[in-house]
A = this chain, B = another copy of it.
Amino acid sequence: MTRHAKHIFKLDPAKDIDDSSLGQIVKSGTDLILVSGTDNVTEENVSKLLRRIRKFDVSAALEISHPDAAVPGFNHYFIPTVINTDNVTFSHGMLVEALMEYHDFIDYDSVSLLPYIIMNQDCKAFKHAQCHAVEDEEFIAMIHMLDKLYKMDYIYIEYSGMFGDRGLVAEAYEAAEHASIVYGGGIVSEDTARRMDSVSDIMVVGNIIYDDVEQALETII
């Protein structure tokens, strides 16, 4: 049996998607629907999207970009943290603040940290989180640190909006002994999906959903 990376469709609660497209995405056979956005994410639009997803039988997780938009009822929650930031606010400052307010309500068994290495210098998150560009050698050292010292469950290699350096992603995949390598960026077709399938544990497909649903469905291989 050929090994396949797990597949995630990422839905942005601030973006519109019609019922028919949503149905196709949710019933596509993807392993997980991840609700996650950056701008204009509110409790209201997250709740609304969750209700629409819940009409189907699929696992749904929420990536909590801001604690005010945390909504109960998801199967799992991911808390992002940025590794190549130059500002501690984005590594754990915001997280500590959120825990000060919300610790009592958190079921930690359903929460995972999601450490990001943001590789695309032109993407919004890179600038927002005050990241620095990561050289190849530094990148692999970060993978070892997260995998072998922090023993993280996941490491998210984020090329958001562009197709990544497959050779480098493959190096990370080889280097990680414990953590699952999550890859995101530029998976927009069967071909791009196949190219990252063998060098990651989990592939995240997002933007193409809003550009071309049929194309998005082809990423499930």
What residue of chain B has the Cβ atom nearest to residue A153's Cβ?
B151
Interface size of A as a range: 20 to 34
Cβ of A207 under 8 Å from chain B: no
Cβ of A1 under 8 Å from chain B: no
Q: How many copies does the complex hold?
A: 2
A83 near B87 with CB under 8 A, answer: no
Measured CA separation A209–B124 after assembly (Å) = 53
Given A86-B88, A88-B88, A103-B144: A79 and B138 interface contact (C-beta under 8 Å): no
Q: How far is the CB of A97 from chain B (nearest CB, A)?
A: 8
Residues of B within 8 A of A113 (CB): 149-150
What residue of chain B has the Cβ atom nearest to residue A103's Cβ?
B144
What residue of chain B has the Cβ atom nearest to residue A87's Cβ?
B88
For the complex, would chain A's binding face be called helix, strand, loop or mixed by DSSP majority?
helix
- Segment 100-115 of A: residues with Cβ below 8 Å from B: 100, 103, 108, 111, 113
Cβ of A99 under 8 Å from chain B: yes
Cβ of A170 under 8 Å from chain B: no
B111 near A149 with CB under 8 A, answer: yes
Measured CA separation A99–B113 after assembly (Å) = 22
Cβ of A91 under 8 Å from chain B: yes
Residues of B within 8 A of A92 (CB): 83, 91, 145
Within 8 Å by CB of A138, from B85, B100, B138, lies B100
6 closest A-B pairs by beta carbon, nearest first, are: A99-B141, A108-B148, A100-B141, A96-B141, A113-B149, A100-B137
Chain A contacts to B: CB under 8 angstroms: 79, 83, 85-88, 91-92, 95-97, 99-100, 103, 108, 111, 113, 137-138, 140-142, 144-145, 148-151
For this complex, 21 residue pairs linking A to B, each with C-beta atoms less than 8 Å apart, are: A83-B92, A85-B88, A87-B88, A88-B88, A91-B92, A92-B145, A95-B149, A96-B138, A96-B141, A96-B142, A100-B137, A100-B140, A100-B141, A103-B141, A103-B144, A108-B148, A111-B148, A113-B149, A113-B150, A150-B150, A151-B151
